[in-house]
Structure 1
Amino acid sequence: MEGPVKNKIIAMIPARYEASRFPGKLLKDLNGKTVITRTYEAALNTGLFDEVYVVTDSDKIYSEIEKNGGKVLRSKKEHECGSDRIAEAVEDMEVDIVLNVQGDEPFIDKNSLAKLLEVFQQEGAEEIDLASLKTPLKGSDEITNPNNVKVITGKEGFALYFSRFPVPYPRDTSAKVTYYKHIGIYAFRKSALMDFYKLPMLPLEASEKIECIRYLEYGKKIKMVETSVKSIGIDTPEDLEKARKILS
């Protein structure tokens, strides 16, 4: 008998130079190396991937990764979101699973990523189009903050909806509900990613400004995996200072 088929798994790190809140943040110094180089090396060091690439629209980021011996691809077109940037890059690649890593999150938790990739080896994996992470939210400030995207799932762990609004609405406050934050790290089947790239945005995604809603609107199945690890993203100069302290 043949064993399970081994998927070819790659990591893609979409990297824009312009960031509205903190321009050029990926090239800022983080204790001797740039943020993007630290993120690339952290993804490589997990040992989970057959290959790791940075995909960027920026000459500066391209040369930064190249001079450090990393694999980097240049976007040919302008892209609205990271998924589109990755899809263009993998279109002609022979890969099965593509995991997106945020370029501004240099503290990668290997265990969370391993759990995410495991779902494609489990029974019933063929019905999963993509998988993503969620973590419990504590306190009303976190729950009501529109920057925290909330996700609700069915009993099998598939996403039902994502919203910036606190969902579900607590009409009955005695119901024991845990609110979950969506962490924007995805493991895609290549086929689902290419469908996303070719399908137009629909009204729910346009309204909420949450790209993964597009998958739901077109009937794709998103398996959510719970993690207790809080991701540390670098969105502001203050975040960068915190990251420097963590590293030192």
Structure 2
Amino acid sequence: MNDSTTSRLAIVIPARYGSTRLPGKPLAEIRGKPMVQHVYERALRVPQASVVVVATDDIRVANAVHAFGGVCLMTSADHPSGTDRLTEVMRHIEADIYINLQGDEPMVRPADIEKLAAGMRADSAVQIGTLCHMISAQEAKNPHAVKVVLANNGDALYFSRAPIPYSRDVDDDGDSDGSGHQTARYLKHVGVYAYRREVLATYAGLPQPMIEQAEKLEQLRLMAAGLRIRVFEIAPTGPGVDTPECLARVRDLMEREDA
């Protein structure tokens, strides 16, 4: 069922100041702008978006957003995840679909967010949507790269920090079984989510399952509750910013974009 003519889309950018690995991350300077501004400006280029708002728990981030003319909403400092912060935003901003776009993704492509929004609008049975792209078997070994395996219809079967699927016949290079054929196709999860309002409204009340606590992946709470997550594949994208090393890499890549 297509609901493209009726659904109101809100893009929410959670931007927490107190990152453990990179304090003040949303305000990290990239090409003369705070990182959160790059994310905000790219979100504005998504044509379906009815509203774009930054959700933060720190007045310094709010002041920076207001300085570049953005819309910002102050939220509680007690939220354990960006999704929990989104549930608070939902009480203030009316929409049918909410896209959670992390404030540490300054290289996000508007076309990818547009694909996610279009996928949600094209099928009202899709409860939650997210993105993925192919990676090498070598990158799949990195626990910071979250992997996903899919059903034939594109719904997620599982997310993990482990390299899934496990390739039993893999050789020492991690790529083939010795015959020159790839033994597994690895998909990296891109942490952008789209939620229907009614699904997001139930999130805070869901119990934390063992798999979420073990993997430290909040999307597993949704899957354990029996909710379906549709995953849309995109071309490989630039990295997010988690550490000072990531920030240096993103600064270099974005400088090259302008060269």
What TM-score does the superposition give when structure 2 sets the normalisation length? 0.88
Equivalent residue, structure 2, for 1:150: 147
Corresponding pairs, count: 244
Aligned ranges 1:83-122 → 2 under 5 Å: 83-122=83-122
Residues 137-165 of structure 1 show CA distances to partners (whole Å, capped at 9, x for unaligned) of 1132x111111111111111100111111
CA contact (8 A) 1:109 1:229 kept: no
Deviations 1:208-237 (A, max 9, x none): 110001111001110010111323212222
Matched-pair contact (CA < 8 Å) for 2:47–2:114: no
Deviations 1:109-150 (Å, cap 9, x if unpaired)?
12211111111232xx2321111011111132x111111111
Taking the aligned partners of 2:63 and 2:92, their CA distance within structure 1 comes to 23
Q: What SS does the corresponding residue of 1:126 show, helix, strand or coil? A: coil
2:203 is equivalent to residue 190 of structure 1 = no
Structure 1 equivalent of residue 174 of structure 2? none
Cα distance between partner residues in 1 of 2:89 and 2:72: 10
Query: What is the CA-CA distance between 1:77 and the residue it aligns to?
Result: 4.9
Post-superposition Cα deviations, 1:48-98, rounded to whole Å, max 9, x if no partner, equal: 311100000001001111122211001135111000001111134321111
Paired-residue identity, %? 34
Counterpart for residue 187 of structure 2: 180
Q: Distance in 1 between matches of 2:4 and 2:214?
A: 41
* Alignment equivalent of 1:231, drawn from 235, 238, 241: 238
Amino acid at match of 2:167: P
Deviation at 1:242, TM superposition (A): 3.0
Partner of 2:58: 58
1:202 alignment partner in structure 2: 209
CA offset at residue 188 of structure 1?
A: 0.9
Aligned partners of 1:127 and 1:221 also within 8 Å: no
The answer for the alignment partner of 2:71 in structure 1 is 71
CA distance in structure 1 between the aligned counterparts of 2:38 and 2:155, rounded to whole angstroms: 32
Counterpart Cα distance in 1 of 2:118 and 2:98: 13
2: CA distance, partners of 1:52 / 1:233: 20
Q: Does 1:129 align with 2:127?
A: yes
**CA shift in 2, pair 1:240/1:147, >3 Å:** closer
CA distance in 2, matches of 1:93, 1:111: 24
SS at match of 1:11: strand
Question: Counterparts of 1:65 and 1:31 in 2: how far apart (Å)?
Answer: 16
Determine if the alignment matches structure 1 residue 217 to structure 2 residue 224.
Answer: yes
Structure 2 regions of 5+ residues with no counterpart?
A: 171-176
Q: Is the 8 A contact 2:137 2:186 kept in 1?
A: no
Aligned amino acid, residue 47 of structure 1:
P
Provide Cα deviations, 1:10-52, integer angstroms capped at 9, x if missing partner: 1000011011111112112212211112211121133331110
- With 166-175 and 192-201 compared, the bigger mean Cα shift is at 166-175
Alignment partners' CA distance in 1, 2:158 and 2:245: 32
Q: Where does structure 1 lack aligned partners over 5 or more consecutive residues?
A: none
> CA separation in 1, counterparts of 2:240 and 2:77?
26
- 2:112 and 2:231 map into 1 onto residues whose CA distance is 12
Q: Residue 17 of structure 2 corresponds to which residue in structure 1?
A: 17
